[in-house]
């Protein structure tokens, strides 16, 4: 793949032979975020787990102290009038049930997170083939299947994100925007890594965090010292 002069210039600002501290890595990422839009700051973690085993399928949520810098669109699926009002009061973008089930079946998915009350999951579960591949299926482990829809919506809007290991053993998440202050990006990154460390499966053998890198949307990745990342709790 052809590498542009711009990208080569940005790469030259990073020492590929070394691993950086979190603070140094954030500085480098902000330095190389030169696009004309406010780039997202992404983190990628390679784990020493085998996702084929259910007890090593790392999955969780974390409330980032400073959010992710974007408006998260939330749909709440519930038939209960009281819960619908609760969701609306908390700031949900879409609330209802039958109409949205029909729209989803017809291909609509203009939301980032779906929250559902437990009593409707029998019907929502039938949409698994549609919602699953898009990462939108509500799940009790991520707090998106709950009777406390108001709290769930408030947390999601405030910066709660969900993450899960892929088939190759990697985790990906957004920890902010390039416009964020350095300290805010550092705190968000540490909060994410602490959550990942807390979820280390007892059955995982050897090095748990094998590799960590951070990058802006259009910039090169910067490696973070895995020993530092592993020590954050």
pTM for this one?
Answer: 0.82
Report the alpha-carbon distance of residue 184 to residue 222 in Å, rounded: 18
What is the topology classification, in CATH, of domain 74-158?
Answer: Rossmann fold (3.40.50)
Instruction: Tell me the CATH number of domain 18-67+161-230, given options 3.30.190.20, 3.30.930.10, 3.30.70.790, 3.40.50.970.
Output: 3.30.190.20
Q: What is the pLDDT of residues 124-151, one digit of tens each?
A: 999 999 999 998 999 998 899 999 999 9
Where in the chain do CATH 3.40.50.790 domains reside? 74-158
Question: Is residue 32 classed as helix, strand or coil in its secondary structure?
Answer: helix
Query: Which two three-digit tokens encode residue 147?
Result: 């009777």
Instruction: Answer yes or no: are the C-beta atoms of 152 and 146 closer than 8 Å.
Output: yes
- Position 142 scores a pLDDT of 87
Which DSSP string do the residues of 107-145 spell out, in sequence order?
A: T----SEEEE-GGGHHHHGGGHHHHTTTT----GGGT-B
SS3 219: coil
| Residue at token pair 């879409």 | 94
CATH 3.30.190.20 range(s) for the chain read 18-67+161-230
From first to last of its 233 residues, the chain has per-residue pLDDT tens of 566 777 777 777 788 889 999 999 999 999 999 899 999 999 999 999 999 999 999 999 999 999 999 889 999 999 999 999 999 999 999 999 999 999 999 999 999 999 999 999 999 999 999 999 998 999 998 899 999 999 999 999 998 998 999 999 999 999 999 999 999 999 999 999 999 999 999 998 899 999 999 999 999 999 999 999 999 98
């Amino acid at each position: 793949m052809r590498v542009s002069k711009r990208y080569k210039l940005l790469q030259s600002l990073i020492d590929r032979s070394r691993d950086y501290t979190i603070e140094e890595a954030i500085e480098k990422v902000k330095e190389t975020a030169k696009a004309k839009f406010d780039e997202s700051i992404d983190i990628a973690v390679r784990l020493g787990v085998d996702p084929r085993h259910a007890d090593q399928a790392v999955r969780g949520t974390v409330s980032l102290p400073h959010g992710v810098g974007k408006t998260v669109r939330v749909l709440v699926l519930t038939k209960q009038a009281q819960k619908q009002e609760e969701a609306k009061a908390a700031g949900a973008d879409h609330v209802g049930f039958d109409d949205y089930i029909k729209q989803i079946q017809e291909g609509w998915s203009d939301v980032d997170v779906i929250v559902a009350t437990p009593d409707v999951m029998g019907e929502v579960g039938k949409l698994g083939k549609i919602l699953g591949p898009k990462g939108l299926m509500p799940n009790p482990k991520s707090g998106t299947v709950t009777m406390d829809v108001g709290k769930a919506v408030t947390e999601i809007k405030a910066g709660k994100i969900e993450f899960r290991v892929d088939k190759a053993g990697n985790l990906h998440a957004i920890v902010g925007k390039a416009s964020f202050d350095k300290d805010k990006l550092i705190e968000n990154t540490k909060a994410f890594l602490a959550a990942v460390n807390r979820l280390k499966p007892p059955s995982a053998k050897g090095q748990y965090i094998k590799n960590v890198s951070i990058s802006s949307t259009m910039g090169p990745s910067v490696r973070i010292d895995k020993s530092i990342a592993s020590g954050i709790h």
